[in-house]
Structure 1
């Protein structure tokens, strides 16, 4: 039996049974109440993972030191699609494998993105707050129908958002590092420069990875290019938006509102008060990084993560789109 540790909540029975049926002894770590594995000290992670061959991980940092302390660990399988917290170079150099659950949560996050657009435009939060106060005054909203929507990043989730926006007859502008004319014609969008998208869009939705080039993509300088009636949606990564600048813009009515599922405070505690102030605003929809967290979405990503673990432990290859680092060839070359 191969020891597999899951440091995530909501790991379903079907995925557990798949692992067990493939000779894995599965343990789900007992996370502290209200805490994710990204908040668990590395010393505790080391204790949990001793002797484990596979690790299904959420937001914990996978560092070189941690990997060195876990010589039996063959695969780190993320139940998600981001991997900025994984030391990819260390994974390769130490002969391990790191994977993501590619394709498992595209629809789930795309649905949340559209939901935020509708909720912001129609001012659902403000209307309900009024009823709670005993007021039936109607907050005048705006349509998503036939609006201009800027989509920054065209990976799997970005494409899923574009497909949904087509049903609202939106004009869709896309900023992406590579352009595919056939895809644009098939999905009904136009490529545009970032400045053009910011200046023309009624909604700007972020679906880019967090890199040095995309960090603080939405900040004071770029917000100045946007309409004061525009909305910003970030369901991708904290750090794409400079939350302090966004808060300032909302307080000064330089933007109409924001839908936020990710925040700078997730990686930088000094932003915690900014997160709280943003979440308290009537024109902000704030969620606790829950974009992928539906029963169906988690079932899909759980199973993809489990299949990646079994593939590696059986000496096989996970799906190519799931692999972010594979150091097994490096290990074999060193052994020779």
Structure 2
């Protein structure tokens, strides 16, 4: 294979990770990923780079069967991050390519962010800050995280990091997951419950599930109606897990006490932008731009791990097993 180009379209791919690739004889080629308000798109510059690339470090770019067929040189795709719902995994496998991700890279950062959203909404930090900026120093009464019941929808790596951080708040932790790890739950003091029970008992519901056909709009109008009046919703996973229209209605009516959102539905569906704007106008909504995993430390860990996966794949060495999403190379 003559080409040793590695295309990097993941934003904030730092110099240390680039140098690691270069130290192994690889040429780093970068290209910006345009964003059209619905999803990222493949730019002309990216198409040119993909012609010679043997590997691709991906951020949010979509990967389709057609794209893979068009660029047969590429043997490895390294997703810088954990979620891969923009990638056709079956196509990767059938095209005899390797797809990896970077578990463990940004999990502490996302967990920190989720706790920050819980505290920010409960303590009404945005409202208080905006009032102070306007010269209004009236005290707003918030609520404590201490002693509350927190429900985690999904109990994977990020959620388990959150469990560690919640211990200092003396909360009761409930969890719903399609698979259960009884030994971990017993050790960590987590109680597995049904989704319905989690919704009815929790003061704070935090979403950590992957986006699938089954989890899309997991929190819809009936589910939100079952929640405690005044409960808080936190979402650092995928915007499509929540029916944003139902969320908006529940916040406006007072059914829910607030929401901390790092992701929203309009991130991929521009038709939902009016709903997002209304959510942002509410004083009890704290929203960040899908930034939970974007800490300096988390990005550095993820970048290095993605680079290591690419190097191992190109050099024919074993790729870390925990990073492999799909591997069709042996077929």
TM-score (norm 1): 0.94
8 Å CA contact retained: 1:42, 1:66: no
8 Å CA contact retained: 1:203, 1:232: yes
Match of residue 333 from structure 1: none
8 Å CA contact retained: 2:38, 2:269: no
Match of residue 217 from structure 1: 218
8 Å CA contact retained: 1:36, 1:59: no
Specify the SS of the correspondent of 2:239. coil
The whole-number CA distance in structure 1 between the counterparts of 2:184 and 2:312 is 32
* 1:49 equivalent in alignment to 2:50: yes
Following TM superposition, by how much is the alpha carbon of 1:44 offset from its aligned partner in structure 2, in angstroms?
4.9
Following TM superposition, by how much is the alpha carbon of 1:48 offset from its aligned partner in structure 2, in angstroms?
3.0
The correspondence of residues 172-183 of structure 1 with structure 2, limited to 5 A, is 172-183=173-184
The correspondence of residues 121-160 of structure 1 with structure 2, limited to 5 A, is 121-160=122-161
8 Å CA contact retained: 1:204, 1:231: yes
The whole-number CA distance in structure 1 between the counterparts of 2:96 and 2:38 is 24
The whole-number CA distance in structure 2 between the counterparts of 1:305 and 1:273 is 36
Specify the SS of the correspondent of 2:256. coil
Structure 2 unaligned regions, length at least 5: none
| Alpha-carbon displacement from aligned partner over 1:147-202 (angstroms, at most 9, x marks no partner) | 00000101110111111111111000010112222111211111111111101111
The whole-number CA distance in structure 1 between the counterparts of 2:294 and 2:111 is 12
Superposed CA RMSD: 1.6
Match of residue 26 from structure 1: 28
8 Å CA contact retained: 1:97, 1:325: yes
- Shifted more, 279-288 versus 114-123: the winner is 279-288
Structure 1 unaligned regions, length at least 5: 331-336
| Alpha-carbon displacement from aligned partner over 1:81-117 (angstroms, at most 9, x marks no partner) | 0011111111111111111111101100000000000
Match of residue 70 from structure 1: 71
| Alpha-carbon displacement from aligned partner over 1:258-300 (angstroms, at most 9, x marks no partner) | 0111111122111112122212211111111111101111001
- Shifted more, 263-272 versus 15-24: the winner is 263-272
Q: 1:142 to 1:119 in 2, by over 3 A?
A: same
TM-score (norm 2): 0.96
8 Å CA contact retained: 1:46, 1:66: no
Following TM superposition, by how much is the alpha carbon of 1:8 offset from its aligned partner in structure 2, in angstroms?
2.0
Match of residue 195 from structure 2: 194
The whole-number CA distance in structure 1 between the counterparts of 2:223 and 2:43 is 37
Specify the SS of the correspondent of 1:205. strand
8 Å CA contact retained: 2:81, 2:302: yes
